[in-house]
Structure 1
Amino acid sequence: MAILRILVVDDDPVLRDGLAALIRFDSSLGQTEVATARDGQEAMVRCLADPPDLVVMDVRMPRMDGIEATRRITADHPDVKVLALTTFTTQEYVAPMLAAGASGYLVKDRTEELVPAIRAVLADEFYVSPRVSGVLVSMALHDERPQDRPAPSRAGTPSAAAAEHPRPALTPQEGEAVAWLARGHSNAEIAERMRVSVGSVKSYLAHAGEKLGTRNRVQLLVRATQLGLVTLRMEDPGL
């Protein structure tokens, strides 16, 4: 069995070593080698010398932040996955990090999600904490809403702009898969609830994304919420 190689990047040495230990001793990941770096610049050097399978990347760091490091690493090493792990959940950090090529975004106060997020990203899933998905969708809906039209309700009522256009016809299975995705479930969890294979779930979501004209899961959630196809679960009361 191949050894899984993970690089943990954070400027806080206590947190950095703690995360490395948490990953290293989790048996569900199999045999794992975990290295660390103190900032984005050191992470780039390590990836150049020996690219890992996945980088757990902080966002705000000295010398080179996680956004720039992610942009360079994913450009130079397309096979390397990046999972953002940070305290920041505002659009100022979330959107640029995902645009830079991160395959997932996790907040530091939800470290119990770290190993499941790593497994999801390594399985080519686009992992974003439900809390962060809520931030992205809320901001996207706000930014795209015409100023003279009423805001959508927190229950997910479609905007006036979206209501003017016919909804794409999703199959019942595609609609159900998107609904479970909006509640923060992984492919494996959706498969269990729908009693189908993980491959079927991936297919349902891919077809739904094609019909909605989206490229990733965040965009899929944004568009589905705009059209009133799903109600996003807002976990953070501040949203």
Structure 2
Amino acid sequence: MGKLRILVVDDDPVLREGLAALLRFDQGLDTEVVGTARDGQEALVRCIADPPDVVVMDIRMPRMNGIEATRRIVREHPEIKVLALTTFTTQEYVAPMLAAGASGYLVKDSTDELVGAVQAVLTDEFYISPKVSSVLVRMAMDDQSKTSTASPEACGGPGPDLDPPTRHRLILTDREEESVRWLAHGYSNAEIASAMGVSVGSIKGYLARAAEKMGVRDRVQLLILATQLGMVTPRIDDEGL
């Protein structure tokens, strides 16, 4: 890939220009252009006139919010990655933004994660801020409580002899399962590595192998499935952070 083209979309001019400057001058990104837009409607125009590789998208904005803008960008320009960057961490915002097609979700007090998140989505990885992990857990637990009341017939009949949590535990190594447990508590790769006394590369490997064994694409799906199967019991605080 050549030099990166990034678009920052936010209705706060100070934050918008600050984020653009951060991305423009960070040594970890080989950027060509970092443009800005004031709202979702302007972002759509910019994606047509001068398509970026990544859009860093706020959610609540005038004229057109980030959820609708993301939905249209992903539909009309599937090659463009959208990374949500917002102050909102409740299911009310997280679920619609992910459903709209965002490739990642960050909160604005975690801008130190921004460059790494941009690099991740550019390699087709899904990036989720550890601070949003428990929101996904809450969503998974809600889904689990709804399906648990269904009859066996509604769920496709009786299951296999070996229950799902046991079956998946058998295929994960102790280190893989331990890394998944730390992930469920909202820890970053670096924090998990420190807690387990291994390198960040090892943690990435554990999580990647766990995801592959469990048949999911990324750490978000891994977290949700592990919660649904009862493999982890995440901490969920009152604010969903």
TM-score interval, smaller chain: 0.7 to 0.9
Aligned residue number for residue 170 of structure 1: 171
Q: Measure the CA separation in 2 of the matches of 1:11 and 1:57.
A: 10
Root-mean-square deviation (CA, aligned residues, Å) is 3.1
For each residue in 1:82-124, what CA deviation from the matched residue of structure 2 results, as whole angstroms up to 9, or x when unmatched?
A: 1100111111110010011101111112222212222222232
Q: What is the letter of the counterpart of residue 28 of structure 1?
A: G
Q: Measure the CA separation in 1 of the matches of 2:111 and 2:141.
A: 28
Give the drift of 1:31.
3.5
Q: Measure the CA separation in 2 of the matches of 1:147 and 1:230.
A: 18
Q: Measure the CA separation in 2 of the matches of 1:15 and 1:97.
A: 20
Preserved CA contact (<8 Å) 2:44 2:69: yes
Q: Which secondary structure state, in structure 2, belongs to the residue aligned with residue 97 of structure 1?
A: helix
Q: Measure the CA separation in 1 of the matches of 2:148 and 2:202.
A: 44
Is residue 14 of structure 1 aligned with residue 14 of structure 2?
Answer: yes
Q: What is the letter of the counterpart of residue 221 of structure 1?
A: L
Aligned residue number for residue 212 of structure 2: 207
Alignment of 1:125-144 (within 5 A): 125-144=125-144
Is residue 225 of structure 1 aligned with residue 227 of structure 2?
Answer: yes
Cα distance change on mapping 1:93 and 1:194 into 2, 3 Å:
closer
Give the drift of 1:230.
3.1
Q: What is the letter of the counterpart of residue 165 of structure 1?
A: D
Q: Which runs of 5+ in 1 are unaligned?
A: 150-163
Q: What is the letter of the counterpart of residue 26 of structure 1?
A: D
Preserved CA contact (<8 Å) 1:120 1:186: no
In percent, how many aligned pairs have the same letter?
61
Q: What is the letter of the counterpart of residue 193 of structure 1?
A: S
Q: Out of 184, 188, 211, which is 2:187 matched to? A: 184
Cα distance change on mapping 1:4 and 1:205 into 2, 3 Å:
farther
Is residue 71 of structure 1 aligned with residue 71 of structure 2?
Answer: yes
Q: Out of 171, 177, 193, which is 2:199 matched to? A: 193
Is residue 34 of structure 1 aligned with residue 34 of structure 2?
Answer: yes
Cα distance change on mapping 1:227 and 1:144 into 2, 3 Å:
closer
Q: Measure the CA separation in 2 of the matches of 1:46 and 1:27.
A: 25
Preserved CA contact (<8 Å) 1:209 1:215: no
TM-score of the superposed pair, with normalisation by structure 2? 0.78
Alignment of 1:72-151 (within 5 A): 72-145=72-145
Cα distance change on mapping 1:77 and 1:6 into 2, 3 Å:
same
Q: What is the letter of the counterpart of residue 117 of structure 2?
A: A
Aligned residue number for residue 157 of structure 1: none
Q: Measure the CA separation in 2 of the matches of 1:139 and 1:2.
A: 38
TM-score of the superposed pair, with normalisation by structure 1? 0.78
Give the drift of 1:50.
2.2
Cα distance change on mapping 1:205 and 1:88 into 2, 3 Å:
same
